[in-house]
Structure 1
Amino acid sequence: MTTLPVQDATVEVEPRTISRKATGADRVFVHSIRAVGATVLVITGGVGLFLGWQAWPTLTHYGLSFFTEASWQPEADILGIRAVLTGTVMVALVAMAIAFPLALLTALYISEYAPAFLRSTLVSLVDLMAAVPSIIWGLWGYFLIMPYAAEFAVWLDRNLGWVPLFDVHNADPDAALIDAAISNYSFSMFCAGIAVAMMVLPMSCAVMRQVFSQTPPGEKEAALALGATKWGMIRAVVLPFGRGGIIGGTMLGLGRALGETIAVLLILSPSFESKWRILEIGGNTVSALIAGRFGDASKSQLSALLAAGFVLFLITLVVNTIAAMIVNRSRSGAGTDA
């Protein structure tokens, strides 16, 4: 048996440098996405700078009284947004009080209870609600919902009138001629909030449904294997997993509700009184004020309207930023079983 001689040779092997730079179509895609993202940031920043520049004369002229004054009387040089800020918050809170449980239950039903053959249809129907123009929702709320909402407001005033939120001044819910007095319960922030709730529901529901669908099936199956019921599994696994999506979707809906215009303008009777009674006729929001007064505004009043819009822009931006941060920090489905 022969043995072949082995020559010793030292071969230096250098590690190959791996480039992370995108090439070809990937490079085009990366640069395109960066350009689109930068454009959105520039447009948003430009809107903020424009509103701030236009609002500066009003803010310097009225000072803090612009935020503490409730009246809007340009002819008397008295302008303030306290009343419209209060109305904006109250309409948005009414809308979210109605939209939140509906969005949560709808998202849970679609993701956990709906049959597979029906799920895509339900998703399309809910998403289709977001495509309905706001003026259609306003007409729907004005002609169809407001008469029934006013009757329900009478019932709330009669049974829960001891709560300041549901108290209505200058109206007797026990009056014999309730039809004559029901106008005191129409054109209210409560009626406007119902229409706005239907407009923000698809957005909140879509975020919640997407997060619920990413719940790891292994955790769900483990809960069921340990003897949990369907609802027990949802309460112990799905809801904790989707907590960030629930909060984020709700706050995104709140940002939309704060800026809704046409539906509120059609339903809510404009008044400049800072009040918290949601069932009472009258109220106003920042967006409805701008839409209603923009056409015949003088130069000084136009600056005041843009100042009000600048305040609303900042509020909406803060709400949406917080919502995005919460959604990003929530569990994103990493570790989901294939």
Structure 2
Amino acid sequence: GGYIKYLQTTTVFPKMPLVGNMLTDNFIHNRLNFRWYPARQWTVAVEARNRLFYGEQVKLFNTFGSFSQRIDQYEGLVDLSVIWLDEEAALLHSIVDRAYLNWAGEKWEVRLGRQRINWGINLAWNPNDLFNPLNFLDFDYEERPGRDALRVQYFPGLMSSVELAFAPAKKISNSIGAALYKFNLGTYDIQLLAGYARGDLAFGGGWAGYIGGAGFKGEATYYSPTGAATDTLGRAFIFSTALDYQFGNGIYATASVLYNSKGQGLNNGATQGPLLLGGSSTVSSKNLFPGKWAYLLQASRQLHPLVSLSVAGLYTPTDNLSIFFPTITYSIKENWDLDLVAQAALADQNEAYRHLGTSLFFRLKWSY
């Protein structure tokens, strides 16, 4: 299985030297998913993505740096990527982002290889996601990145599990190793974690339950640097919580809050603002968003059996930054989908509230 997607992006921003005020970009993405079941308890999985980038944004990155270096980044042990074409305004890149062997027993499951280890609970921000932190604004990579890791899970009961995971890196200080314990307490699912993450000792936990008819979730992680710390952030505490509710008229709404003790804001709103859009900027598990506090409201509804609408707004008092992103999805026919997405950023800059940039996305997807 897999899919082929075409994504066209047009970004408008205040005029800058050598750039102007508008850039366009094109992106063709082919995904291939393979599964092999050699025996009843065994699974072999390989998944790859082939991506062709071309347009003005590629040319711009190559003017001031290297677009291929920005795309061809992976922290794992084995380089499973190939650059087939690297031109001034075009790049063709392939990478295997899943390649693992999985064994599942009655109470045990062991997975070795490139995989996604998702310990997060919330929709938008996941402080517990030590292995694969994600940028909430990156809507086009649904599978999320994988890591080269060994993961062992034990299920002592229906409502509990113990998990150990280790992701080595070429530089030992960049490795991640942690344990996760999940259990049920009353009407709540609880998880606790502890481990080592890129030079920091990490301790955290989270919950998922209900308040009345609304879902109530939260997670937090505290980082304490060791002598092998790989960044200069120092001690850090990240917390997020969320409420979600399904209204009788079909509207599904969520409200999320993030506290990031190391949130410093945008160093340069004029240049970094547009980079936020589309999830172009990377995040770390210690610094999930530029602001110290961030608030997100999101609502979605099925307008028609073939049409759905989602509207979201994100705000952080740091830089007085606001990001708005509506999405319309239309199911053209079986296995064919069309998405129209917009992301607009505004913030304080030079003692005035200014428009930093707006990106418009047109995406066509065929699944097979």
Pairwise TM-score range, normalised by the shorter structure: under 0.3
| TM-score, with structure 2 as normaliser | 0.21
| Structure (1/2) with the larger helix percentage | 1
| TM-score, with structure 1 as normaliser | 0.22
| Structure (1/2) with the larger strand percentage | 2
